[in-house]
Amino acid sequence: MDFSLSSEEQLFRDSVRSFLAEKVQPIWTRIDEEALIPTSLIREMGEQGLFAIAVPEEYGGQGGGFLLTALAAEEIGYHDPSMALAVFTLLNNAWPYILYLYGQDEAREEILPRVGRGEAFFGIASTEPRGGSDVGGLQTRAVKVDGGYRVEGEKIYISGVREVMDQLDWGGWLLLARTGRPEDRHRGITALALLGKRQGAKTGGIEYSILDTIGRHGISTGILRLNGVEVGEAYRVGEENRGFYVAMEGFNLARILVAAANIGSARWALERMVEYSRERELFGRPIASFQGVSFPIAELAMELEAARLLVYRAAWLADRIYKDKEPGLRPRDLGKYSAMAKLKAVQVNKAMYDQLMQVYGALSYTKEAQVFRGMLASLSYYVGAEGAQNIMRYIIASSIIGREYTK
User: pLDDT higher for 132 or 113?
Assistant: 113
Contact 125, 68 (CB under 8 A): no
Closest CA to 308 of 341, 338, 275: 341
Q: Is 69 helix (H, G, I), strand (E, B) or coil?
A: helix
Beta partners for residue 155, in sequence order: 224
Summarised one tens digit per residue, pLDDT across range 141-175 is: 999 999 999 999 999 999 999 999 999 999 999 99
Element (H, E) at 123: strand 120-125
Mean pLDDT of the chain: 95
Q: Are 69 and 93 in contact (CB under 8 A)?
A: yes
User: Quick one: which H or E segment has residue 68?
Assistant: helix 66-79
Model confidence over 43-80: pLDDT tens digits?
Answer: 999 999 999 999 999 999 999 999 999 999 999 999 99
CA 150 vs. chain centroid, Å, equals 28
d(CA 184, CA 300): 45
Q: How far apart are CA 118 and CA 40, in angstroms?
A: 9
* CA–CA distance, 127 with 384 (Å, rounded to integer): 11
79 contacts 28 by C-beta, under 8 angstroms: yes
Q: Please report the sign of the dihedral spanned by the C-alpha atoms of residue 372, residue 375, residue 380, residue 386.
A: positive
The pLDDT, as a whole number, for residue 345 is 97
- CB neighbours of residue 186 within 10 Å: 19
Do the beta carbons of residue 267 and residue 304 sit within 8 Å?
yes
Domain ranges in the chain are 7-120, 122-237, 243-406
- Average pLDDT of 312-322? 97
Query: Could you give phi then psi for residue 156, rounded to 5 degrees?
Result: -135, 160
Q: What is the pLDDT of residues 123-136, one digit of tens each?
A: 999 999 886 667 77
Q: What share of the chain is helix, strand, coil (3-state, %, to 5)?
A: 60, 15, 25
pLDDT at site 132: 65
Distance CA 261, CA 265 (A): 6
SS3 for 331?
helix
The CA radius of gyration of the chain, in Å to the nearest whole number, is 21
- State the maximum Cα–Cα separation within the chain, in Å, rounded to a whole number: 79
Q: Report, at the CATH architecture level, how domain 122-237 is classified.
A: Beta Barrel (2.40)
Does the structure show a pLDDT above 90 at 215?
yes
Q: The domain 243-406 belongs to what CATH superfamily?
A: Butyryl-CoA Dehydrogenase, subunit A, domain 3 (1.20.140.10)
Closest CA to 296 of 362, 355, 364: 355
CATH topology identical between 7-120 and 122-237: no
**Per-residue pLDDT tens digits for 237-259:** 999 999 999 999 999 999 999 99
pLDDT value for 358 = 96
Say what percent of the chain tops pLDDT 90. Answer: 90
**Number of helices followed by number of strands (H, E) in the chain:** 13, 11
The per-residue pLDDT for 388 is 82
Q: How many CA atoms lie within 13 A of 43 on its CB side?
A: 7
Percentage with pLDDT > 70 across the chain: 99
Is CATH 1.10.540.10 the right assignment for the domain spanning 7-120?
yes
The residue among 120 and 3 whose pLDDT is bigger is 120
